[in-house]
Each structure stands twice: as C-alpha cells, then as structure tokens.
Amino acid sequence: MIIWVAELSKEAVGAENVFIATDDERIAYIVKAAGYQAIMTASDALTGTDRIAEAASHIEADIYVNVQGDEPLVDPDDITKIINAKKQTPEQIINGFSWIGEHEDVNNKNIPKVITNENNQMIYMSRNPLPGFKDIKHEPVHYKKQVCIYAFTLQELKAFKDFGRKSELERYEDIEILRFLELDKRVRLIETKPGSLAVDSPEDVAKVEEALAKKHD
C-alpha cells in the first residue's frame, strides 16, 4: 500500500520529490528497492506530523506535502490542488476534505469529520458527527470528512514539533491537526474528489480493493 501511494504521489511531484518517512527498517528496505527515498525517523514520534517535521529537517523545500500511506485512493490531481492552494495562501495550513459518501457511516470513529465556516476555514475536527443540531429538521444533509493530504512550510512543521506534546483537544480526539489551533494557525480546507477511503482497520482493505477494482475496470 505504501508503494501504491508513492506511485500516485510520483505522478503529482515526480519520483525525485517523493520521500517515505518511517522508523521501520523493513519499510525502508522495500521503499528503496522500489526506487524511492526513505528517511529514517525516531520511533517515539508523537504523530505522523511530528515524523514529517523530523524528516523535513533533512530536505530543503518551500512546501512539504504529507500524503498519508493509508490513502491508496488518493488522486494525484488532488495532491497538485493542495500544493497550488498552499502557494496561494502560504500563511495557512492546507488540508483536504471530501463529502462523506452514502455508503459510509457518519458515526464511524475512524472518519474524522470537519466543520468549517463558509470560507472553508477549519473551525474544528472530531471523531463525532459535525456540525451538531438541536432540531431534527436542521440535521445536515451532508458531512465533510478529512482527506489526509496536508501542505506545510518548514516553519509550521517546526512549530508543531516544538510544541513538545499533544494538545488536550488533539489527545481527546486523536486528530493531530488540532494542535495547530493551539499555535493560532489557520487551517484552510480544500475540496478533493469524492470516493476517498482510508485503510484505518483490516476491515477497510476489502472496501478499498473493491473501489480500486471499479476504478480500473
């Protein structure tokens, strides 16, 4: 799955710009055998973003894009879209979102739901359905979910790592991007193509394989 995501990332930025950050020598071996660059990071990284921050300190770039290895349905065009959004608003963290599909359960704790204002600035992200409602007649028709493509500067990643711990909200929700709220950083959500499915548990593999089969029919 990691190589699959690397191949998709290569389509967006070129193989020379794809790095896999890992603390596992087995993953590094497979990555290098496939022709990609691996960066070994500490095994005690608090989150994936902390790991990216560590890896970024060894790579010179203006923009660092994190495409999580559990997103095998990521679209290369969406990676490019996230990069372009970061170029347009370099002072903001960029993250992807899509609408929760009809075959997905909005109550699934493995799917981070995001609430934004009308300009797609993140207000909050939660494992619980957001936004809430008091009257059933005002129940949202659609819910936004996080798609794990992010864009940062090196300074933003350094500030994130230098915070030194998980923030309270981050720890409660187990959603690392919430740490940026403590850093007073604005997070802008960019809509990506529908159909994104992350592999968060073994049960998700069959769903992703089915989606991939349909995609390549």
pLDDT in tens, 62-121: 999 999 887 778 899 999 999 999 999 999 999 999 999 888 899 999 999 999 999 999
Indicate the domain borders of the chain: 64-215
Task: Report CA 38 to chain centroid distance, whole Å.
Answer: 19
pLDDT tens digit sequence for 116-161: 999 999 999 999 999 999 999 999 999 999 999 999 999 999 999 9
d(CA 70, CA 201): 10
Instruction: Check pLDDT > 60 for residue 193.
Output: yes
Q: Would you state the pLDDT for residue 69? A: 80
d(CA 99, CA 114): 10
**Residue reference for tokens 């193509």:** 193
Cβ atoms of residues 147 and 98 within 8 Å: yes
CATH topology of domain 64-215: Spore Coat Polysaccharide Biosynthesis Protein SpsA; Chain A (3.90.550)
